[in-house]
Amino acid sequence: MKKTLILVSALFATLALALFAMTLSGMSAPTKAAADTDATVIEVHAQDQAFAPNTLSAPANTAFTIHLYNDDTFDNEHDIRVMDSTKATLAKTPNTCLGPCELFLQVPALAPGTYTFFCITHDDMSGTLNVS
Ligand SMILES: [Cu+2]
């Protein structure tokens, strides 16, 4: 009886160790992948119908991500879109979100130049994106 108890305890200890190892490897893999794919992440906040900062800088000829924080706490939906000088939309988030919330905008590689970013739900909510 005592021998069985020891055997069961050993089995549980082994299982616990295996689970711990799986958790560790599971946690480290996505972190590394995210770090590899998101080389450039630019953060911008939206609050009181304005972007802060309203001038952003991005590297030329390489895709990047804009991380939008909608800091409004009630009834204010924002999104973020990038357009060129002809007002053609080059990138947009798939949806608006009701604050507080966060959105990620994947922007394709852009040629050096000055672009505009704006929010679809607020005409006066825009900023300048300098790509160089
Ligand atoms: Cu907005």
Query: How far apart are the CA of 104 and the centre of ligand 1, in A?
Result: 15
Domains identified in the chain, total number: 2
Query: How far apart are the CA of 105 and the centre of ligand 1, in A?
Result: 15
What is the CATH classification number for the domain harbouring 112? 2.60.40.420
Query: How far apart are the CA of 3 and the centre of ligand 1, in A?
Result: 68
Query: How far apart are the CA of 76 and the centre of ligand 1, in A?
Result: 7
Query: How far apart are the CA of 70 and the centre of ligand 1, in A?
Result: 8
Residue with tokens 């089995």: 11
Query: How far apart are the CA of 89 and the centre of ligand 1, in A?
Result: 16
pLDDT at 102: 97
Answer yes or no: do 32 and 46 share one domain. Answer: no
Answer yes or no: do 60 and 98 share one domain. Answer: yes
Q: Which domain holds residue 74?
A: 41-131
Buried/exposed code over 67-79 (b: 16+ C-beta within 10 A; e: otherwise): ebbbbbeeebbbb
Q: CA-CA distance, 45 to 95, in Å (whole number)?
A: 16
Sequence-distant (6+) residues with CB within 8 A of 124 are 49
Q: CA-CA distance, 18 to 20, in Å (whole number)?
A: 5
Cα torsion through 35, 37, 42, 44, rounded to 10: -90
pLDDT at 8: 42
Answer yes or no: do 46 and 66 share one domain. Answer: yes
Query: How far apart are the CA of 61 and the centre of ligand 1, in A?
Result: 28
| pLDDT per position as a tens digit, 49-72 | 999 999 999 999 999 999 999 999
What are the backbone angles phi and psi of residue 87, rounded to the nearest 5°?
70, 20
pLDDT over 90, % of the chain:
67
Answer yes or no: do 32 and 86 share one domain. Answer: no
Answer yes or no: do 22 and 49 share one domain. Answer: no
Answer yes or no: do 46 and 8 share one domain. Answer: no
Query: pLDDT digit of tens for each residue in the chain (132 aa)?
Result: 455 444 444 444 443 444 444 444 444 444 444 444 548 999 999 999 999 999 999 999 999 999 999 999 987 999 999 999 999 999 999 999 999 999 999 999 999 999 999 999 998 999 999 999
pLDDT at 35: 47
Q: CA-CA distance, 131 to 2, in Å (whole number)?
A: 72
Handedness of CA 38, 81, 99, 69 (dihedral sign): positive
Answer yes or no: do 70 and 24 share one domain. Answer: no
pTM score, whole prediction: 0.71
